Structure 1
Amino acid sequence: MITRRKFLETGIAGTCAFCTGYAPFVSAINASGSYEEEFPAKEAMYYKQLPETRVECELCPRGCKVADLERGYCGVRENRDGKYYTLVHSRICSLNADPIEKKPLFHYLPGTKAYSIATAGCNIECKFCQNWQISQFRPEQIDSIKITPGEVVKFAQKRKCDTIAYTYSEPVVFYEYMYDTARHAKQEGVGSVMISNGFIKKEPLVKLCRELSAVKIDFKAFTEKFYKETCSGELKPVLETLITLKETGIWFEVVMLMVPTLNDSEKELRDMCKWINENLGPDVPIHFTRFHPTYKLKNLPPTPTKTLEKARNIALEAGLNFPYTGNVPGHPGESTYCPGCKKVVIKRVGFTILENTMKGNECGNCKRPIPGVWC
């Protein structure tokens, strides 16, 4: 296990992830020191006090009512004598320098890198979670290292990353850390993007968007049944989040992981694409990505390519201009096409850009504006 001192001395930030192993109830970095000294708690930004030293979290739609010395659903926020604290501020369990296309964000600074960070915790539980080793455990159960917001920004700059991405687990649960880092990054000319499930209340979302550059929302499905049974969540708050993002004017993209037999029916896809067009507009990119068996859904097969192609065609028929297929490297649906002349403006294979013919924010062929953040 790398120590904080060694980490800061060598400056290898952006090349490693700490969280691959599960360390029950003990963080290896604290083997020789105090847990509380290494990771001091920070008071949460959104909660209210209740009688008998209880608190109510006002960050996400769960609205957890938490007794003294107990934690909310996410496992990373704790009531201490009537005050609510985040236990994961500056407490990174995973980080890496990724292509921005990996998020995926296709209309945001293509070809650049994002310095990606995560802490433990999540406010829902998807049975197909690819990062369950960090999202479904408490912070003291996995290895972490202390990196302050200012240090994150410095490491991002050292790795020549234009953006910091809050990702891998669920950044809503490390809201204060994300907010502080994004503010610092903005002052230093570094962008910030949130990769989220969208399960957040409006007030903290609007405040956060003032510091962010872009958002990607993982849209799990278009039915309450799927959200409840497969993710222990709710659809309605996510729809409200998407509408709020539209209202703020921030750039955002949507991803839907296509899980065979659970959220891939033609009716659901048509209903969803219609809702997106009517409420968010035709220019919001939507990525239909391939599911791979993992965590608690190992009984289902990977998504057939034809299912992704069907979803993309339905989106086009519904009037959406930028539908993509994901997790199928080399598929034509990975590339960006101009809605005007229909020519490829950004050709991709996986996370690699092979060709970019855009001129500023316009199609290099017909001059039609292509929505996004291009420089």
Structure 2
Amino acid sequence: MDNSDNTVATHYWRHLDNDHVVCTLCPRECELREGKRGVCYVRMAQGGEIVLTSYGRSSGFCIDPIEKKPLHHFLPGTPVLSFGTAGCNLTCAFCQNWDISKSRHMETLSAAATPEQLAKLAEQTGSRSVAFTYNDPVIFMEYALDVAAACHERSIKTVAVTAGYINPEPRREFFAGMDAANVDLKGFTEAFYHRICGGHLAPVLDSLRYLKHETQVWFEITTLLIPGENDSPVELDAMCRWISDELGPDVPLHFTAFHPDFHMLDKPRTPMSSLLQARDIAKAHGLHYVYVGNVHDVKDGSTWCPSCGELLIERDAYRLGTWALQHGCCQHCGTKIPGVFEDYPGKWGPRRLPVEIK
């Protein structure tokens, strides 16, 4: 790829009969005239095709605990080198990374790194994985996949933190480069997706089915509970029933607390009672691994054996305590716990460490 000016060709697009080009990366299928950008901001019509304009550029690099993604069943306790770019293909009114994902300023992309530099930095810092996060990596998939390839050459794993809003053909290519994913299931009604997120529910459900039934990618699901918007018992019951029926009981589900942000400053914070109600509904549908997040709750942030009920992985604000796994199994009763585990947890803890490419 020629990325000397941070612009590279893409191949998910088609011509219309007029002078417009349609980007076919995601269900939005933006129809663009020459020089115009899609809703995601980083994909643009240029020279009769769609190009990515942010290749090799980032809003910054940081080493996080893997639990922050959140991933609770993927190399617990290990550090993950995290970065994002600018823009997003959804328009969520509640976005909690809005300064990055809603940015329309290339100055946001103040850090530069080649895929090889990122893989080397991950290796040098002891990061076991690299996460494409802060904004949705599907919109910069060409860059993400090149980084993934460079990481895999060094035995470093890759993580996508994504809303799963992507068309089937690019979805196959994108997730083929990922070892793990956290998929943001933002709600469970078409009305919520359309009114609040500027998208549709069905493509996200299709992505979840695809991950479960057609890939080896380890994935977990997160739903941010917004008071009065997506937290009704009826909606949560329908969502948890769908997860149980379509994905099975072993996909970890994270219910996280909302705080007022972006265009939803008038909404209150999520009360603990709502998180616990959601947890109870999920458990009633037989889901084995249900977590609450963005609050301090050691019990409901920890992993418990679904067979014998014993504590397996204790978590306190990204800090691990009790570890009762042996070869990925409960050391008390031998039940196999789904996920990607090693014999011993990492020791990164809750640190968040900004890093620079030199």
TM-score (norm 2): 0.92
Q: Given the alignment of the two structures, is residue 325 of structure 1 paired with residue 292 of structure 2, yes or no?
A: yes
Q: Which of residues 54, 65, 83 is equivalent to 2:20? A: 54
Q: Given the alignment of the two structures, is residue 87 of structure 1 paired with residue 50 of structure 2, yes or no?
A: no
Letter in 1 for 2:325: M
Does the 8 A contact of 2:279 with 2:291 survive in 1? yes
Root-mean-square deviation over aligned CA pairs = 1.4
Does the 8 A contact of 1:121 with 1:139 survive in 2? no
Task: Provide the residue aligned with 2:318 in structure 1.
Answer: 351
Task: Provide the residue aligned with 1:217 in structure 2.
Answer: 183
Task: Provide the residue aligned with 1:186 in structure 2.
Answer: 152
Task: Provide the residue aligned with 1:241 in structure 2.
Answer: 207
Letter in 2 for 1:46: Y
Task: Provide the residue aligned with 1:300 in structure 2.
Answer: 267
Shift, 1:50, TM fit: 2.9
Task: Provide the residue aligned with 2:276 in structure 1.
Answer: 309
Letter in 2 for 1:275: W
Q: Given the alignment of the two structures, is residue 116 of structure 1 paired with residue 82 of structure 2, yes or no?
A: yes
Q: Deviations over 1:255-307 (max 9, x none)?
A: 00000010000010110000000001110000000111111111111101111
Task: Provide the residue aligned with 1:6 in structure 2.
Answer: none
Q: Could you tell me how far apart the structure 1 residues matched to 2:58 and 2:90 are?
A: 20
Q: Could you tell me how far apart the structure 2 residues matched to 1:228 and 1:291 are?
A: 19
Shift, 1:141, TM fit: 4.5
Q: Could you tell me how far apart the structure 1 residues matched to 2:42 and 2:6 are?
A: 13
Task: Provide the residue aligned with 2:38 in structure 1.
Answer: 72
Does the 8 A contact of 2:85 with 2:109 survive in 1? no
Does the 8 A contact of 2:43 with 2:51 survive in 1? yes
Shift, 1:142, TM fit: 2.2
Bigger shift: 254-263 or 241-250? 241-250
Determine helix, strand or coil for the equivalent of 1:98: strand
Q: Deviations over 1:208-263 (max 9, x none)?
A: 22221111001100001111111111111100110011121311000000000100
Task: Provide the residue aligned with 2:335 in structure 1.
Answer: 368
Task: Provide the residue aligned with 2:348 in structure 1.
Answer: none
Shift, 1:51, TM fit: 3.4
Shift, 1:49, TM fit: 2.7
Task: Provide the residue aligned with 2:117 in structure 1.
Answer: 151
Letter in 1 for 2:188: F
Determine helix, strand or coil for the equivalent of 2:244: helix
Letter in 1 for 2:181: V
Shift, 1:206, TM fit: 1.5
Does the 8 A contact of 1:287 with 1:323 survive in 2? yes
Does the 8 A contact of 1:76 with 1:139 survive in 2? no
Q: Which of residues 126, 140, 146 is equivalent to 1:160? A: 126
Determine helix, strand or coil for the equivalent of 1:225: helix
Q: Could you tell me how far apart the structure 1 residues matched to 2:120 and 2:23 are?
A: 32
Q: Given the alignment of the two structures, is residue 40 of structure 1 paired with residue 6 of structure 2, yes or no?
A: yes
Does the 8 A contact of 2:58 with 2:108 survive in 1? no
Task: Provide the residue aligned with 2:345 in structure 1.
Answer: none
Does the 8 A contact of 1:87 with 1:139 survive in 2? no
Letter in 1 for 2:129: T
Does the 8 A contact of 1:325 with 1:331 survive in 2? no
Letter in 1 for 2:142: E
Q: Could you tell me how far apart the structure 1 residues matched to 2:73 and 2:203 are?
A: 25
Q: Which of residues 125, 128, 138 is equivalent to 2:104? A: 138
Shift, 1:86, TM fit: 0.2
Shift, 1:166, TM fit: 0.1
Does the 8 A contact of 2:6 with 2:57 survive in 1? no
Letter in 1 for 2:270: T
Q: Which of residues 304, 309, 315 is equivalent to 1:342? A: 309
Bigger shift: 160-169 or 245-254? 245-254
TM-score (norm 1): 0.88
Q: Could you tell me how far apart the structure 1 residues matched to 2:75 and 2:105 are?
A: 32
Q: Could you tell me how far apart the structure 2 residues matched to 1:51 and 1:182 are?
A: 36
Does the 8 A contact of 2:211 with 2:219 survive in 1? yes
Does the 8 A contact of 1:277 with 1:320 survive in 2? yes
Bigger shift: 348-357 or 109-118? 348-357
Bigger shift: 327-336 or 291-300? 327-336
Q: How many residues align?
A: 340
Q: Could you tell me how far apart the structure 2 residues matched to 1:275 and 1:139 are?
A: 39
Q: Given the alignment of the two structures, is residue 278 of structure 1 paired with residue 245 of structure 2, yes or no?
A: yes
Q: Given the alignment of the two structures, is residue 177 of structure 1 paired with residue 146 of structure 2, yes or no?
A: no
Q: Deviations over 1:130-173 (max 9, x none)?
A: 11111112352424222011111111111110000000011111
Consecutive unaligned residues in structure 2, runs of 5 or more: 343-358
Bigger shift: 309-318 or 137-146? 137-146
